[in-house]
Amino acid sequence: MRLDDDLHFALRALTGHRARTWLTLLAMGLGTATVILLSALGEGARIYVSNEFTQLGTHLLIVLPGRNETTGGPPPLLGETPRDLTLDDAIALTRSRLVEQIAPIAVGSAPVSHGNREREVTILGSTAEFQPIRSIELAQGRFLPPGDLARGRPVAVLGETLAQELFANRTALGQWVRIGDRRFRVIGLLSSTGVSLGTDLGDLAIIPVASAQALFNSPALFRILVQARGRGALAPAEEAIREILRERHEGEDDVTIITQDAMLATFDKILNALTLAVSGIAAISLIVAGVLIMNVMLVAVSQRSAEIGLLKALGAARRQIIGLFLTEALLLASAGTVGGLLSAYAGVSLFNAQIDAFQLVVPLWAPLAAVSVSLATGLFFGLLPALRASRLDPVAALAGR
Amino acid sequence: MLTRDYARYTLAAVRAHRARSLLTVTGIAIGIAAVVLLTAIGEGIHRFVLAEFTQFGTNLIAITPGKTSTLGMSGAVISNVRPLSLDDARALRRVNQIQAVVPMVQGNAPVEGNSRSRRTMVLGVGADVPQVWQMRPAIGRFLPADATAGARAFAVLGSKLKSELFANASPLGARVRIGGEPYRVIGVMESKGQMLGFDLDDSVFIPVDRALAMFNRDSLMEIDLLYAAEADSEALAERVRALLERRHGGVDFTITTQDQMLEVAGSVLDVLTLAVAALGGISLAVGGIGILTIMTIAVRERRGEIGLLRALGAAKRQILVLFLGEAVALALLGGLAGLAVGAGGAWLIGVLVPALPTHTAWDFALAAEVSAALIGLAAGVLPAMQAAGLDPISALRDE
């Protein structure tokens, strides 16, 4: 028997029982489609997050005060240290050739008021360089002016929500607001870029870092953002920063430096694991579909025992019978998988056409894994019925018993 | 036809094709087992997180400076213009039904002792920590009651920090330098393990007013209140709010009761469990298609039998009920098997991998059973209608 005879026979058998063939295909297709769609969702989320990180600015190093010597422990994201990271430390960092620009950040919260309206918001003290480093867009006016870091000018840039709350629909530019016990002139409004990695850029005020330090009466910086000169300079820049700060801190290594890549890698790992877990759960449905294939094939074998008997009487070897039924099972599995793949890809492109903010991306491994898993299930679950068919006694089978 | 007859006929039909019924049941069982097992893991994690939250006691209210924005913490924890002061903490102690108060400031500093050094978490706290956070010193004692004013330079080590610095030697009475200042060790805490990423064992406790001086700040990061078990947390939070508002002249702080914290954590985890259950439900749907397929085949095979029943005077409705019953019986059997496998698997995981908490969520299990029956019903409708709609004469002739 040749291969195309084999295929022909199996196809005829399948088209002979349309209802059950369609249902089996549906089950297989449903399983494949969910695996692909869920993995596309996970991959889409991963790409979305990594885009968010690139938005954060490229070649970025974040210096925070304090260091934990716990292996694998989290860095001290929040908390005080006996030796603060100061503005002078930040200025000293610019002396390194590897550092393109820096943005010191002081954070606190204070009431911002205009007229009789008041709102308690996060106050971010920074410098003109904060804008290019975090790629912040302005809706109106300008950002903090460049100049001497240590001089605190009474100017402020407001987030959109804050401006709306204080000024309603009147123009905010050029107005005076009171932050804590000081007065600041509004020189710019942030555009509503929304939430950037946990910080709501709508509900804050940005003032010069020296003003913030005076406002909160504390010389401590919360973070220093450092932009390195190019990607290759990241590692040497980290080393240089550590060296400079160690010198300034009496030989003590008391800062934590986080690179953007390290953060991104962590997120990547988490999201990849999640995607795999979710796709794995969905793949259980492929096994259920495999059980269904086995069931249908068993029914087919018992219904077609006379036919098998005839084949055997005509001299078909056991191997040939096994081949016939395995081909049928594999055909069912692969056709279902192809249908599932097609509908999954159609669903993904439909989703992407409708929604711009979030794109689904089918990872390369997903269709490969789905196809190999479903073919394996087809083979595995087709084997038992095929073996049963091959073991039929030709005389008894022909007699229809 | 009696109900008993229906049951007997259905079961006989299921039994007649053993292999086929077994496989159909297996399909549904895998789906149900997946749902039960996944929700068991979800529920286990839920309970684990709740336990993490409540290991510091249940009757807690936390006060943080500034109004917390929707996303995480506000900048006020770091610095603000109207600090949450030690005087506030002292005033709160006098509120009716408040049993203990822990002012807290947290930072990072090198701890040197026994000619070793380790940078670690420094917690400036009051004397009531053993009572409020429910953690006791393993040896020695905790900070004395003068921790909030003119405190002596005493320190209590976390268990991990102690073993890093002193190994097996007793550190009691030893001198350590924390952030350059000399302290005397008066106790070692018992091990508490990780709490949501914070390793409280790798830390040192010092009096809060010394910590404020060391970190050169005047605002606490948090005040934790322990209230009497019989008190109403809502009303008490209201009294605390009123007191602080009088002292500060405005609401520039956030009060979080533990009930609220648990509620938020609980609702997030519930959504997760539900999502995971839905994922498992896909397998259930595929299993349903399996029932549909097998029932379609069964109706086709048993045309003669159906014709005979109709010829003997069975109504269309009776045929419908017979085949629906068969589909539901298959689904329910699968459901029961799946429940056994799922719950057993959850138990097995609990025994073999104690780190992964599992707890069979019986409400989800019940929901899975009900949906299995419904799936059986839905899958059975089409074939059953087909069977009921057969023309008895042509059906009999097929025999």
A335-345 confidence digits (pLDDT tens): 999 999 999 99
**pLDDT value at residue B351:** 84
B77 at interface of A, judged by CB pairs closer than 8 A = yes
A27 at interface of B, judged by CB pairs closer than 8 A = yes
For A217-262, write each residue's pLDDT tens digit: 888 888 898 888 877 788 888 888 988 988 888 877 888 888 877 7
CA distance A102 to B1: 87
A84 contacts in chain B (CB < 8 Å): 216
CA distance A67 to A41: 37
A2-6, A20-24, A222-226, B124-128: segment of lowest average pLDDT? A2-6
Q: What is the mean pLDDT of residues B149-155?
A: 85
Query: Which of A26, A203, A246, A295 to mutate to probe the B interface, most B CBs <10 Å?
Result: A295
Whether the per-residue pLDDT at B70 is higher than 70: the answer is no
Nearest CB neighbour to B119, from listed A68, A203, A291: A68
**pLDDT value at residue B1:** 63
Asked if A78 lies within 8 A of B73 by C-beta distance, the reply is yes
Nearest CB neighbour to B78, from listed A70, A108, A289: A108
B216 at interface of A, judged by CB pairs closer than 8 A = yes
Residues 111-170 (B) with a CB less than 8 A from some CB of A: 118-121
pLDDT higher for B347 or A59?
B347
B296 contacts in chain A (CB < 8 Å): 19-20, 23
**pLDDT value at residue A355:** 81
Whether the per-residue pLDDT at B171 is higher than 50: the answer is yes
What is the phi-psi region of residue A135: left when phi exceeds 0, alpha when psi lies from -120 to 50, beta otherwise? left
CA distance B123 to B133: 13
A289 contacts in chain B (CB < 8 Å): 286, 289-290
**pLDDT value at residue B11:** 83
Model confidence at B71, pLDDT cuts 50, 70, 90, reads very low
Pair of tokens at residue B143: 């900070």
Q: What's the CA dihedral at A380, A381, A382, A386 to 10 degrees?
A: 100
Asked if B282 lies within 8 A of A278 by C-beta distance, the reply is no
For B11-36, give one letter per residue: b (16+ CB within 10 A) or e. eebbeebeebbbbbbbbbbbbbbbbb
CA distance B26 to B37: 16
CA distance B36 to A157: 53
Pair of tokens at residue A113: 């008021």
Q: What is the mean pLDDT of residues B284-309?
A: 87
Pair of tokens at residue A154: 């009474």
Asked if B27 lies within 8 A of A291 by C-beta distance, the reply is yes
Asked if A295 lies within 8 A of B293 by C-beta distance, the reply is yes
**pLDDT value at residue A155:** 93
Q: What is the mean pLDDT of residues A40-58?
A: 78
**pLDDT value at residue A254:** 81
**pLDDT value at residue A208:** 93
A228-232, A364-368, B25-29, B76-80: segment of lowest average pLDDT? B76-80
**pLDDT value at residue A72:** 44
CA distance B165 to B170: 10
Asked if A285 lies within 8 A of B79 by C-beta distance, the reply is no
Strand bridging mode A195-196 / B181-189: unpaired
**Count of residues in chain A:** 401
Whether the per-residue pLDDT at B184 is higher than 90: the answer is yes
Q: What is the mean pLDDT of residues A121-141?
A: 85
**Alpha carbon separation from B349 to A202, B279, B280, B342, B344 (Å, rounded):** 46, 20, 18, 10, 9
pLDDT higher for B364 or A213?
A213
Strand bridging mode B181-189 / B98-113: unpaired
Q: What is the mean pLDDT of residues A341-350?
A: 92
Nearest CB neighbour to B120, from listed A68, A198, A199: A68
SS3 content of chain B, % helix, strand, coil (to 5): 55, 20, 25
pLDDT higher for A73 or B326?
B326
What is the phi-psi region of residue A113: left when phi exceeds 0, alpha when psi lies from -120 to 50, beta otherwise? beta
Model confidence at B185, pLDDT cuts 50, 70, 90, reads very high
**pLDDT value at residue B169:** 86
Q: Nearest 5°: phi and psi at B79?
A: -155, 155
Q: What is the mean pLDDT of residues B376-390?
A: 87
CA distance A282 to A33: 9
Mean pLDDT over each residue of chain B, to the nearest integer: 84
A 10 A CB-CB count for B190 gives 12
Asked if B293 lies within 8 A of A296 by C-beta distance, the reply is yes
Mean pLDDT over each residue of chain A, to the nearest integer: 84
Model confidence at B113, pLDDT cuts 50, 70, 90, reads confident
Whether the per-residue pLDDT at B199 is higher than 80: the answer is no
B120 contacts in chain A (CB < 8 Å): 68-70
What percentage of chain B has pLDDT greater than the value 70? 94
Minimal C-alpha gap between A197 and chain B (Å): 10
**Alpha carbon separation from A146 to A57, A126, A150, A151, A212 (Å, rounded):** 19, 11, 11, 10, 16
B280 at interface of A, judged by CB pairs closer than 8 A = yes
Helices (H), A304-317: 305-313
A 10 A CB-CB count for A82 gives 22
Whether the per-residue pLDDT at B83 is higher than 70: the answer is yes
**pLDDT value at residue A73:** 47
Q: What is the mean pLDDT of residues B114-119?
A: 84
Whether the per-residue pLDDT at A77 is higher than 80: the answer is no
Model confidence at B72, pLDDT cuts 50, 70, 90, reads very low
- Radius of gyration of chain B measured on its C-alpha atoms: 33
Query: Which of A39, A67, A83, A109 to mutate to probe the B interface, most B CBs <10 Å?
Result: A109
For A367-381, write each residue's pLDDT tens digit: 888 888 888 888 888
Nearest CB neighbour to A299, from listed B20, B38, B67: B20
Q: Is the ipTM of this complex over 0.85?
A: no
Position A80, amino acid: E
**Alpha carbon separation from B292 to A124, A296, B297 (Å, rounded):** 62, 11, 9
